[in-house]
Structure 1
């Protein structure tokens, strides 16, 4: 059967599924989710990505993001609507990339990982930074620094999207 003139094989590519993870899923990871979704929306790539976030702990399960993080994000045009949830075992099967915010998150994710293939899905957020020099995304919950967190996340999400677009053969 002849393909239509407008056929583009990339239209049938699998979605890339990315999960952002921090300790409680109320500051860093929901902010990363919002930043990444915004970048994807600006490039009209919503049909190519699934973005979510989760926490190592279930302490804040069902809660919205911290009000300080929501306020800081809102000043930059991001809306954080996600409700906290813990990382689930099926996340290691469902997502292509699982991105932790710091070494503690990475260590916990690797302990939760069911196999070596899943280990390879675990990455550090700051590994995608292009301009910022940071070895982790600091947790602002106790010490503040919400703007710094967003600065790092905006840089890293930009680098991550660039990397994923290359992997998908986009632009």
Structure 2
């Protein structure tokens, strides 16, 4: 669906198999529940090439299943087009942010607002840490942070 009424958000982390697909799935479910999913273009991507083509981490999938959040994604890397096609690019930590800002500078007509997803957290936890080397509890924490941040982001943009 094209047109000026479409809003867009791209969630980004290092590999696009843990944090960003969780944020994408959480936001898509919220937008769906709020009846506004048709007005949004929602996706996620990686700053790295490590996991391209892979499904989300099985622990993240288990966490989403537990919370009844549908999740379907195949990891991909951020492209130059993303900086021109998305209104918001929301990332998880300082390293993602500096990678994205560097990439944005190399794109002539970059219009995306690049910021930390955690900037929307009412509990002011700015960084969403990578749970990859952690436990199920770390994935649960990522989920909780994404819920808080996505809710605030959706409210700010509705």
Assess same fold via TM > 0.5.
Answer: yes
- Please report how far the alpha carbon of residue 23 of structure 1 lies from its aligned counterpart in structure 2 after TM superposition: 0.2
Which has the greater radius of gyration? 1
* Equivalent residue number for residue 110 of structure 2: 118
Output aligned runs, 1:1-171, within 5 Å: 13-113=4-104, 114=106, 118=110, 121-130=113-122, 132-144=123-135, 145-165=138-158
SS at match of 1:74: helix
Could you list the per-position Cα deviations for residues 85-144 of structure 1 after superposition, in whole angstroms to 9, with x for gaps in the alignment?
A: 0000110001000011001000000010035873761011111112x2312001000123
Which has the higher relative contact order, 1 or 2, with Cα contacts under 8 A spaced 6 or more apart?
2
RMSD: 1.6
Q: TM-score, normalised by structure 2?
A: 0.91
User: Cα 1:98–1:30, aligned 2, differ >3 Å: closer, same or farther?
Assistant: same
Structure 2: 5+ residue stretches without partners = none
> For 2:72 and 2:112, how far apart are their aligned partners in 1?
29
Could you tell me which runs of 5 or more consecutive residues in structure 1 were left unpaired when the two chains were aligned.
Answer: 1-11, 166-171
Counting matched residue pairs gives: 153
| TM-score (norm: length of structure 1) | 0.85
Rounded to whole Å, the distance in 2 between the matches of 1:80 and 1:112 is 27
**Residues 85/75 of structure 1: CA separation in 2 closer, same or farther (3 Å cut):** same
Once the two structures are overlaid, the 10-residue window that deviates more, 140-149 or 112-121, is 112-121
Asked if the contact 1:20–1:54 (Cα under 8 Å) also holds between the matched residues in 2, the reply is yes
